[in-house]
Amino acid sequence: MACSRVLATPRLRIVPFTEDYLTPRYVAWLNDPEVVRYSDQRHRRHTLASCRAYWQSFAGTPHYFWAIVARAAGPAGCGPGTGLHIGNINAYVDVVHAVADVGILLGERRVWGQGYGSEAWIAVCHYLLDEAGMRKVTAGTLAVNTAMLGIMRRAGMVEDGRRQRHCLCEGRAVDVVHAALFREGRHRKGEQ
């Protein structure tokens, strides 16, 4: 994997994904229609084996795959250390162009709406731009995914393109919104 770096925020530990996080609970997130409502994961059936294969696909690549652990959101025993494994975040790195494309899954529904997704997202964006040498961080989501659009906005990302009526979601053609955050100039524009 790209690194073994642990990122810390006031409420989270963002840790390299390990075998310990491959649990039936994690697989259940991916098979929960509400959790994957706006993700292409909704078109697949997941198993421990498919999740293990996905995790192992990061080995020997410049890409990142982290588990998001809430320090006080739940009981110990839901992964290594204390806290509750509430989701995952990844970054696919284009080394040649110094660009990372980030994706997130906040699977633990009981923590939705509490800002954990934004907190993890911003920490990963800062790490990629400030420490990992990326010049640009990108993301994309369906235009109807208001939660993800909010995360991207709170991170200071700007719209970087739009694919008109590109995907079908719940029987309706919807746009895919692409967004970006650039290392150059972001502090001058008020991004913390």
Assess contact for 100 and 89: CB atoms under 8 A: no
Query: Can you give the pLDDT at residue 79?
Result: 42
Rounded distance between C-alpha atoms, residue 183 and residue 33, angstroms? 35
In whole angstroms, give the CA distance from residue 170 to residue 86.
26
pLDDT digits (tens, 9 = 90+) for 15-55: 999 999 999 999 999 999 888 777 777 768 899 999 999 99
Question: What average pLDDT is seen over the chain?
Answer: 87
Lowest mean per-residue pLDDT among 74-78, 98-102, 135-139, 168-172: 74-78
Angle at 37 between CA 34 and CA 38, to 5 degrees: 150
User: How many angstroms separate the Cα of 58 from the Cα of each of 29, 61, 76, 92, 162?
Assistant: 20, 6, 27, 9, 28
Residue 1 near residue 63 (C-beta atoms within 8 A): yes
Q: Name beta bridge partners: 168.
A: 173
Residues 64-107: tens digit of each pLDDT? 999 999 987 444 444 444 689 999 999 999 999 999 999 999 99
Phi, psi angles (nearest 5°) of residue 104: -140, 145
How large a percentage of the chain has pLDDT more than 90?
Answer: 69
Task: For residue 34, report the phi and psi dihedrals to the nearest 5 degrees.
Answer: -75, -40
Task: Name the least confident of 6-10, 124-128, 172-176.
Answer: 172-176
pLDDT of residue 163: 83
Q: Is the pLDDT of residue 151 over 80?
A: yes
Task: Say if pTM beats, i.e. exceeds, 0.95.
Answer: no
186 pLDDT band, cuts 50/70/90, is: low
Helix ranges, 38-160 (H): 48-56, 116-130, 146-154
Query: Residue 158: what pLDDT?
Result: 93
Cα–Cα distance, 101 to 93 (Å, whole number) = 7
* Structural domains present in the chain: 7-135 (3.40.630.30)
